[in-house]
Structure 1
Amino acid sequence: MKPFELREFSADELKQKLHDLHEEFMSIRFKKQAETPKPSDIKKIKREIARIKTILREKEITGDKK
Structure 2
Amino acid sequence: MTKATSLREMSDEQLEHELRETQQSLFRVRFQSATERNDAPSNVRKLRQIVARVKTIQREREISAAAS
TM range (shorter): 0.7 to 0.9
TM-score (norm 1): 0.86
Equivalent residue for 1:60, pick from 49, 59, 62: 62
d(CA) in 2 for partners of 1:46, 1:2: 13
RMSD, aligned α-carbons: 1.1
Aligned-pair identity (%)? 33
TM-score (norm 2): 0.84
Larger relative contact order (CA 8 Å, sep ≥ 6): 1
Unaligned runs of 5+ in 1: none
- How many residue pairs match? The answer is 63
